[in-house]
Chain A
Amino acid sequence: MTSPPAASTNCSSEIQSYREQARCFLRQHAPNYSGSVRLGLSAAADLALGRDWQKLKSQHRFAAITLPRSLGGGGGTPLQKVVFNQEEAEYDLPVQYFGISLGQPIPIMALHATDAQKSALVPPAIRGESVWCQMFSEPAAGSDLAALKLSARREGDRWVLNGQKLWTSWAHISDWGVVLARHDPSLPKHKGLTYFFVDMRTPGISVRPVRLLGPSHVNEVFFDDVVIPDAQRLGAVGDGFKLAVQTLMIERYSVMDRWGYGPDPTTILHKLAGRIADGQPVLQDAELREAIAQSIYEERALSEINRRAFVAMAEGKEPGPEGSITKLVTIATRQRLARAVMNATGPEALQRIPGATAREDFTESWVTGSLSRIAGGTDQILRNTIAEKILGLPQDHRPDKAVPFNQIPS
């Protein structure tokens, strides 16, 4: 979801008063953890600041808002979480380290771990003292997640894990992680998977950061005879795929930045007003005008879709499916806009400005656009999902369906 202009959000007074509380908390505290406070901080110092912010939020029930209070969560509703995230996004806070941790593995732990495991592991994660990663994707299993190969061999009441994960966000700062593994390659691919959690310091686990075409927080994680107790299995043997889908669905109403984590297009209107190139005002460039206009009207449309979803949720109804277009639209348009701005400004746009981020700089936004169109659901998978789930079109032909995994031709 993109964040709607909060003032125009039409909703019950209860949720409005929650929004006021959130704003009040943020006004008072967020400036101490964001903006200029973060300028020039080392990665470690920024993470430490993020941990402090997380701790403060947990003391005010604004961390892991939907998780029970008994585990250190906020004991709130999904709608409250959306509201808080909208308001929090108004500040440039060091929250990125905890997004996956508290959005996927920790809620799954809260659902499936034993009480003892939960009370030992969940509260520290909510306070930001520990970070969790999600280890699903592999070199040959991305969009087709169930094609993963990392093996889990049972030995009595222990499991031995061998294989490789890839694209694991924040593994390099993680203390724990959830991992999806294949316990039986003789079963069809979705059936032979089991779900575990592991201490990232277990012998045999090694994490190697992956350098990307832009800033990176992803890693390769190697499992080399990693031994874990059966007590670290979540769900039944063979339920892995089901739990993985559940993990990915937890954040279905997550807040997405209105400009797709790229620059606000109206800033370019102001920045380029009066600028001349080739004897013409740069803002007369037709490609640029079209890209800016498209960004603006799409953002407006998505805000309205989001507003309506919000109203539906506030009324206890299920929002319509149209919110599922958000990422597909926003990221592709951000990439197109960045290219148009670079075209309009000419070769000077090739210059990198030290410290510039994709959030405010069109060149950086262009560089990282390609990443965003793949991470978290490729454009192609998103289109397939719309076609199948909303339009009711048939699934693609899948020759590997119902075939034992180890008999799928590779």
Chain B
Amino acid sequence: MQCSEEDIEMIRAEAVRALGAVDTEGSARRLLGERGDFDGALWSVVSELGWLGISVPETLGGLGMNLEARCAIAEELGRRVGSVPFGVTTCAMSAITAAGSAEQQALLREGASGNEIFTVALFEAGESAVPARPTTLFDGARVTGEKVAVIAGAFARYALVLCNRAQIALVDLDQPGVRRSVVDTIDNSRGYARLTFAGAAATPLLGDDVLDDVLDELAVVSAFEQVGGADACLWATRDYALQRRAFGQPIGAFQAVKHGLADFYTLIQIARGAALSALQANSGEFRKAAACARLAAIRAYDHCAQEAIQLHGGIGTTWEATQHLHLRRSRCLAEEWGTAAFWRDRLLEAALDNRGAA
């Protein structure tokens, strides 16, 4: 189903309303000290409103709406530093919808209802980017190897695991051949875990571009989450700059602060423009558009989260302040799904390939 702009705005308004009723920031702060958990109250909201299945076809228990709807939700979750694996589970489900067998697709019902979480396991030790030659191997039936920094690895039931060259295997993580070790990170609400596969039973996702397609979609959904987070940093800092006085006037009257906030705004509009542009791109252009969205979003959220603390001054560094939640989240979102350097390579490769489509 194609969504009109009005549909998207309705979904967004619903998200703003529903998220306003949950203490997302309190949960994010609490979860920093609790390894291996996520925001259950928020997850209930996300599940009950049908957001997890929003892109899952109606025949498989979802709402069958397009990517745009999901991105609007991701943006609002990002704004509230929501501590739920919304982006990854929906993108994994979308890959299964596109490239999964009937048997694999049957699992989507549990995902759409929120009963089971799906994740994507890409990274390996010693690699800064998505590995071009993974050491994790898949022989068509079993997976052997190790993945690190798997988001939601602590609590996901299913993982799409990058194996061999660019193959994706679907693995049920609740089996004896899989060992999870949850690691302590700068943002424990993400549920990062190391997953060790010792001949774990697995089935393949079929198609030539499964990896690239899922990466592009993750990049775009994540970009909206980043835009939401960056925008929250902007307006919180702007409000603070109007209220806090120093040297006889609101600090927001000083150009150092005004120009700093103007830069937030500029970076965010570029990030939002690039992300929206990806939603307009045709399939031939989507690779390039997704890379643009990702690069602009990383830059915007990194910058705004970091400088929001700076412009708040000392108070922004306290545990009670929201700023460090964004700081942590911004870095997680910058690392998950490949760093800026990785996406720069993808963008330049795509730009060299289809110069005409610029």
Using a CB–CB distance below 8 Å, which chain A residues touch chain B?
Answer: 8, 264, 266, 269-270, 273, 283, 286, 289-290, 292-294, 296-305, 307-308, 322, 325, 328-329, 380, 382-384, 386-388, 390-397
Contact = CB atoms under 8 A, between A and B. Distances in A.
22 contacts: A269-B348, A269-B355, A289-B348, A296-B347, A297-B291, A297-B293, A298-B270, A299-B358, A301-B274, A301-B292, A305-B273, A322-B269, A325-B270, A383-B255, A383-B262, A383-B263, A388-B258, A392-B242, A393-B257, A393-B261, A394-B242, A396-B258
A387 B269 contact: no
B326 interface: no
A114 B263 CA distance: 44
A382 B258 CA distance: 11
Interface in B251-284: 252-253, 255, 257-259, 261-263, 265-266, 269-274, 276-277, 280
B273 A304 contact: yes
Contact of A296 (B249, B269, B273, B351): B351
A293 B258 contact: no
B348 A302 contact: no
Contacts of A270: 352, 355
A292 B291 CA distance: 13
Contact of A386 (B262, B289, B291): B262
Contact of B258 (A292, A305, A329, A383): A383
Contacts of A269: 348, 351-352, 355
B26 interface: no
A392 B241 CA distance: 11
B255 A8 contact: no
Given A300-B274, A301-B273, A301-B277, A328 B252 contact: no
B295 interface: yes
Task: Give the most central of B255, B277, B280: most A CB within 10 Å.
Answer: B277
B238 interface: yes
B277 A300 contact: yes
A393 B280 contact: no
A329 B259 CA distance: 14
A302 B344 contact: no
B250 A387 contact: no
A145 to B, nearest CB: 18
Contacts of B358: 264, 266, 296, 299
Interface of B: 234, 238, 241-242, 249-250, 252-253, 255, 257-259, 261-263, 265-266, 269-274, 276-277, 280, 288-289, 291-293, 295-296, 341, 344-345, 347-348, 351-352, 355, 358
Nearest to A301: B273
Nearest to A384: B258
Given A322-B269, A393-B261, 18 more contacts: A266-B355, A293-B347, A297-B274, A297-B293, A297-B347, A298-B274, A301-B272, A301-B274, A302-B270, A304-B276, A305-B269, A383-B259, A384-B262, A392-B242, A393-B238, A393-B252, A394-B250, A396-B258
Contacts of B250: 394
Nearest to A290: B344
Contacts of A386: 262, 265-266
Contacts of B263: 383
Nearest to A283: B348
A270 B355 CA distance: 9
A301 B252 contact: no
Task: Give the most central of A270, A290, A300, A303: most B CB within 10 Å.
Answer: A300
A2 B110 CA distance: 46
B259 A387 contact: yes
B259 A302 contact: no
B274 to A, nearest CB: 4
A395 B242 CA distance: 12
Contacts of A283: 348
